[in-house]
Structure 1
Amino acid sequence: MEPYYSDDETGELVSNAPTYSRPAFEFQMSKLKELVSLYKEKLNDVEKIRTEQPCHPRAMAVEYQSYERAVGILELVTTSNQDLNKVLTVFTYLISEIKIAREYIDCNVVIGLNFYGEGKMQADQMPEGEAELMMGQMMPFFSEVFESLSYVNSLVVNLVTQLHSLYYKKQPKNHDLYGNLFKYVHLNSAFDALGKMLGGLAMIDSVVDDNQNLVNHWDLYKRMMQFAKNDPAKYGITDKLERQLRKCLLFLDKSILSGNCLQACLSHKGYEAAISSNKELQNEFLNYFKVKIDKLTNSIESQYEWQESKIVVDVICLYFLYRKLYPKDFDKKLFKSVWSLIKKAPVVCVTGQVIIYPHELIMKIAPAPKSVAVEPKDPEQYIKAYMQKSDDNLDKSMQSWLSKFSLWSSRMQSFLNSSTSLPENQVQKLQDSRGKLLLQGLLLAYQIQNYIQVNTALHERNGVPFKANFIPLLMQAIELTKAIHSTLERKQEIIALYLGSIIRLIFKDAIKPYDMIRDKLGAKPTGVGLDIISIYKLVNELGSGCLNSIRSDLLKLCNEIVDIKSILKENEKSLVEDGLWKFEILVEYQTNLKNSTDCSFIYWIQQLNTHFLKYIYDEPANVHRLRYLYMALEDSAKQMLLCRHVEDANDIKQNYIKDRENELVEMVIMPLARAIESDLRLHIHSLYITGIEKQNPFQSSNLSWFLDSQPMVFCEKVIDIKRKIEMYLDETFYNMTALNLNDWRTYEEMRSLARQKYKLNLSEVHLPSKHLDQGMDLLDITKKLPNFVNKFKYNLHSQFFIEATEGDEKHVALVSYMHITNSLRTHGLGLINTTINTSYRLLAKKFQIFSQFLYDDHVYSQLVKDRKFFVNNREALNQMYSYDRAENFLREVKKLGVFDKNLTLIDKFRILITQIGNTLGLIRMIKTAGLNLTATRTQFIPNTQNIPNITELAEKFSDGTKSAASSLEDIMESLTKNFTADTDYFKILVTTFQGVLNTNEASHLKLFYMIIPTLTISYVESMLTAKDKLTKKKALDMYFTDDGFAVGLAYVLRILEQESHFDSLHWFDSVETKFAQEEEKLTVIKASEEMQKMQNMSLKKISVFRVEFELLKYCFLGARIFFNNT
């Protein structure tokens, strides 16, 4: 006998063969069963693993969609009655097509029209012609909508015609469907579809009427087209195309853009004239209105309300069609019944803040032809009272929603439990509970969403401000709506796993009463009973396949036919209707979840977003609601992709996302960051500065709520408040430390306190006490080169620039060749050429000033005199230029005037020479830094003189290896080329300026060497003054080195080729002789004690001058070496 598997979910292997004693086999089987059981427990634990993190966008989402391959409506409808097959097929097809058309209107047309003009500037600020361009962008969309509306009108006419043909007593004898069957059948689902389609047209009209930009821009566009009509050739179109275009625009003007889509459908010429005399169809209309209005009245504002308030518009629009088809049969009672719907739904939301007032719609399209006493009498007052009541009950409603959500959320945890270890009857109960939970979540979300959307729309439309407590309550309502969505989305894998079996279980429970009908009809039914049995079989066949929306529509039609002559009892009928209601909702679970939790309406009341953020910042304990707020804002961003008035709708979406992020930063993150910074600063200062009171933690808000909150996702971007605050504090602490290095310890303590108090992980500043590794950036130096060579002093031997300090500055800026190396590492070696070019332009300007100074008559005449004196008295002076003569020149120049800071013309000229030398010093440091950088980079190259051909060595390898080898070879060649490059920038600069300054036109420069002795005296005096200031407080222009003067002298002498002329002066020998003579005079003279003190002071002064001149001499001789080979 073959073993078989049992039907229970444990999957145990059960055999009906006789058992024998097999100890070894039983032992192995027991071990296998134990292993399988343990493995199943492990698999059950997999469901408990959290598959998502709230701080990261989901990389994959599970979407539940029914799937049935190649099974059409014709294949589904298989009864024994061919006429009945045709009826079911036609009406199922029309109902399903109407659903698709209505979904297109709701999800595309309405949103696209409503968002027209968004993302653009206000109309009064819009450039001329912009409105026409926007409307031109909309033309393809209008074409799609117009084609869709033409199809919609055909669907409505077709469905009305089919109902007219079905509910008509004058039918062929052999095909008398009405007399044989449908006389007792009410196809209310067909009337539902008819009203749904007409309601969609009413929504399009309401959106067009609400969007004033659309109406105004359409008028401008029509005015513009008049110019094309008058001169088509100018616009590149023929007369025929112009007439066709004008005809299309006329169609649009009479339908979509005039808000007359519903009127156009109602006045369609396709309705047969005989319909107005079809009393059977009229009775069906009246029966539908009676049943539907009673159902809506009982369902709206009940715990089972599901889109009934929006169906009110559908019923009213169907009433308009009824009035159109039967214009002479005005029924006061029916009008009053339709009007009474206003009491349950005085306002219906379309999308965003677009609303429909049912009383205005009725009075516009189908007002009562005579006086009728209706209730409410004054709809506008009733709406105000309704809004007031809604505001008053919001707090109470919120408490009810919270309790329902808490209970529902806790029960949703049952989804984490597996049913594999339960018996079959308990599994069915569990599946039934799961189905109820899904329905409860969808119903609760819809009721909250509809309540809030209607309430906010009424306030916005009537200009009524919100109450003080409305903001937190509204935020809480949005939070609940998105929390339901988040809960269901978080469990979407489990829902997708069980949803099919849940729907099938609901389907079976719904059709159970049909078994009683089969029993009542007996084994051999006749007449109508045969059709009912055929429907019964069809219903059972529908349950054997994939349960989707089309099967749901067909099932509703079958139910309406089965319930002929009220064959079902009331309790049985309610059981079937309740099951079909659940079935219809869960079959479209994914769509219904999206629509019921959609909070895109918040976009149209953006001022509330500001209030939300302010409320959250004032109440840090509510920061967890921020996540749900941005989930609601994301719904609006998704709809923006449907904008058609711009070339790329994604631009509008991205701007919206950026605005929302900036709003969060400005209203929450930055104030929070500043508050934390202030708290840290005050806490640290209170420890060291007396007089600052310590903060009382009980009197300040707890900012840790924000830092402990989870990161949130907004439009696939992760917003981490804590991380943004850390980045702000890192930047602030770094900048403040860099500006004032003396405060580095304070910011280190603030960083440590932030870690302890707020758990902030701040980065190290890497700015140790009193020094800065990176230093000044060479790029900044190049940009401000004139200021740099004027303010900084060069040291020839150690190769650094130091800033001449001003007064009470606490630190001194210093630039070494290592700092420049770091800059070159950052910006690349190309910065060298940029700096050299900038230096050349600066030197050119300096030499212009240099030439003008020596061209001055006072200066030039004095130089001529001194040269003549030296030449004539060379032998008497022992070939040495007189020190006294140089000092006399300095005194003569002082008589010409003194400038700011007590500077003479000679001082100005000396500073000019120094600036030229500083420029050359910078060039020298750049060359050193470049060599240092390339040497560091080439240290891993074994032999820079003989680099192997790596490309050839890699020929046998893969293409990726070849590409990498080629890149490596290029890099190595570049490094070695830069390392071995021998560019002599000094030689280039000398040669360049020699061609300009060593000409007959610059003959006044030939006596430059004669002014050098005077310049050196001026330099020594200024140098001693600057060094003397180092020991004084708040002195100006303090420094201890200025070798740029020596470099400048050597450079200018080389350009002018006057080194030999200057050497002939033996100036430094003259200085030494002068000081030796002075010392000898002072030491020979014997004086009193007081005079001796003065002599000592004079000797000390001479010694200081001698040392400074010797330092200048050595620097000058060293600088001349740079230009020996130029």
Structure 2
Amino acid sequence: MAVESISADWEFDRFDDGSQKIHTEVQLKNYTKFLEEYSSQLKAIEEALDDSIGDVWDFTLDPIALQLIPYEQSSLLELIKTENKVLNKVITVYAALCSEVKKLKYEAETKFYNGLLYYGEGVSDTSVVEGECQVQMGRFISFLQELSCFVSRCFEVVVNIVHQLAALYNSNKAATKIIESSGVHFQTVYEHLGELLVVLITLDEIMENHATLRDHWKMYKRLLKSVHHNPSKFAILEEKLKPFEKLLLKLEGQLLDSMIFQACVDQRFDNPGEGVSVSKNSAFAEEFAHNIRTIFANVESKLGEPSEIDQRDKYAGVCGLFVLHFHIFRTVDKKLYKSLLDVCKKVPAVTLTANIIWFPDTFLINKVPAAAKLMDKKSLQAIRSSRDAFLQQKAQTLTKDVQSYYVFVTSWMMKMEAILSKEQRPDKLAEDLSNRCNVFVQGILYAYSISTIIKTTMNLYMSMQKPMTKTSVKALCRLVELLKVKFVILQFSGSGLERLIIQVANYRLLYPSENEPCGPLEVASRLVVLHGVSNISLGMKDLAHLFSLKPIRFFNRFIDIKAYVTHYLDKTFYNLTTVALHDWATYSEMRNLATQRYGLVMTEAHLPSQTLEQGLDVLEIMRNIHVFVSRYLYNLNNQIFIERTSNNKHLNTINIRHIANSIRTHGTGIMNTTVNFTYQFLQKKFYIFSQFMYDEHIKSRLIKDIRFFRETKDQSDQKYPFERAEKFNRGIRKLGITPDGQSYLDQFRQLISQIGNAMGYVRMIRSGGLHCCSSAIRFVPDLEDIVNFEELVKEESLSDETQKAASVLDSVLSDLTTNSAEGTEYFKMLVGVFAPEFRSLKNMHLRNFYMIVPPLTVNFVEHSIGCKEKLNKKNKNGAAFTDDGFAMGVAYILKLLDQYQEFDSLHWFQAVREKYMKEMSAVVKEQNVQATSQDEKLMQTMNLTQKRLDVYLQEFELLYFSLSSARIFFRADKTAAEETQEKKDRGGSSVSDSKAQSHFTPWAYHLPPPLLFE
């Protein structure tokens, strides 16, 4: 049936009964209630979080605690970085041994002490089932095996520490010293050695006082005997039983006999196989004893004082070290021994761990019986009786001590509560932190004092088996109560101090972007490295936490603070190192500082660093070649330069190694540049040389001497007369002298010496270059057959970068092989560039040079003898023992003028030898004639004359040898014509010559051709 739709005429108005409004109000109330509950929950959570910051672990309610113990993440090799590699190794060895001792001590305290002490606990003696003891011991054997391995490891570490110390402090003069150790005392190593010995002493005391363990061991051995008689009954093979019995015997002898410490000190420390001498090493014995005395002095002053913390443990270590010293060296310091025993009057016993008490006097008397015999029996008895006196005194004063500590602890609790609730002052955060730390430390000292009283008193009563009074028990209980209260307070205050430290560290660093960290870090690195200033004294912020931030994304960019700072410091240190290579060690230390303090991974500069043997730099000599040749003297045979005079106590020297190191720093290109600078210097000096030779007074004298020699050479047996040269040397002084008493010939001799020094420097540059190249190329297996790496890389179709690297490698190898094969013939080039001008017709005045050489040699010999005589005088100004630059200069100039044959025609040195031999024979004849007259003064005069003639002859011969050696460098065996003919026969310059000329360009600095003498 269809329903008819209602027409609009019959529609009614909407009826509003208010139900919708009521429904809306109900929902609004519910929503308001929900928001209130939600806000209250948020507030509760916020309050709970605030409370959790102040309230740390409550050991009465929470079963789980969180210990925030810091662990060192860096290795020893990362922490130990100094400039001295030997010192690095020494410190690394000792640090590794100390770390090993710490690990062994931690393992003993956390594993073996508790395992031994709690053995047999929890089982009543009356309810023990038969055989349960043997089963318990059987399960305990594996633990004893681990303990045996641990003890063996301790023995090895003790021996290793002793050997390492003995190797450093070695009295054997024949042995090589590792490093200079005089005045250096590694006291920390001895303290760690003492800690390891205390571990062994503690194990002995635990074994000796553990009656249950010994009883169970005896039962287990009896069981093993029964098994041995009838193995089949227990289903055990006899072959397995014997090794097990040996193991038990080993464990008993090593551990259960309480001889662990004794076995350690009785070890054989001398090991001739390793070359380590211990027992006969007097230096090590003295160092060992010195450290024992030092440690004991530090410990004794604090024993029994309010500031005592761990001095009793260190005292036990000192006793162990003393016994070890006695067993190694068999010597006893009676005074120290008596001092160690006297401490027992103040400290009657030491609690090693838990209820294990140790008596130092008993230990020292048993372990060092030789010294105990020397002690007075009354003194020993007084030490033993001091324990009874201590207990009696404690029984009387314990109540008063409790009252005093009750006042102290209550006062401390009030201070702690007040200082924690005190409002922090932003301007005095450091002062507040210092006050809180002082209160905190005072609480720790109180806790240690109370703990020491409780442990010492209770353990002494138990050890001496004396009854405790009811009053003493109550007093000890009150002390335990105070100790636990302090424990709770300290637990509570820990987070407060931690929060305060964090707040100080982060103060004013809420917006790190306002202060760029790069500048402060660089300044801090400089001040710390150069001046040893700490960040605290600088008042600088601790920026380390900024570098632990992960990269921050900022729109489409990442901000990495650590990478940015690392790049900045790398760039700065690299640029500064390139400017001053001699400061490379300083910037390397700054890199290490950035790594250690801030965890920045720095990049090595890989720049050629200068060494301690660098000497003067080639670059500095090149720039000041004129100063160098005048202030340094050349030695031809040893190829070194020695400073002429200095205001310092020592004279500087320059040898081939110095030059090689400098070339390694700057590269082989510096060699050609240096020779070019030398060429410019020679230009200027040859100009002065030409002016002197052109002087009318000099030229006329030389022409006169040449004419005289040509006319009289037949009468003088082709030898230039010595008297003529001596007359020239003396006569030239008439032309005038300088204010310091030098003639023109003296100055000319100095000019030639400077020219020779320049040539000697060129020779040293060549030798240094060969030395540097040979050192760099020593890893190339075959210099004759070097493969082409670029071709090999192209055949393998490797990347373009690899091909470029191979091309660079080929060029480097080619350069090194070229330079290391023969080197560049710089002498030949310097002769070739100046010789044409010297031999030209317009410089005819230079051809008289060979005739001035004899007077020059006379002048040089007189000067050289005067310099050598000054070596024995107090005022050594002007003293010298070598000046081969003169010989080099004469040989070089003779080669430039092609006058070797002309000079040899003078037979000058033969004439000199004949002259002095003739005079010496005349003196000898005169001595024979005057021997009968017995005129002492005349004989002394003749002896002095003979000595003077011998000195002059020897000096002339030395000059002749030096000149002959120098002539070899310039091929004195061939004249200019012969060399020209040789070139024609070869068809021009050789390949090597062309290479040399391509490397050396005397006009590279836009100098004119050497037309020096116009």
Alignment TM class, shorter chain as reference:
0.3 to 0.5
Q: TM-score normalised to the size of structure 2?
A: 0.44
Q: Which has the higher contact order (CA 8 A, sep 6+)?
A: 1
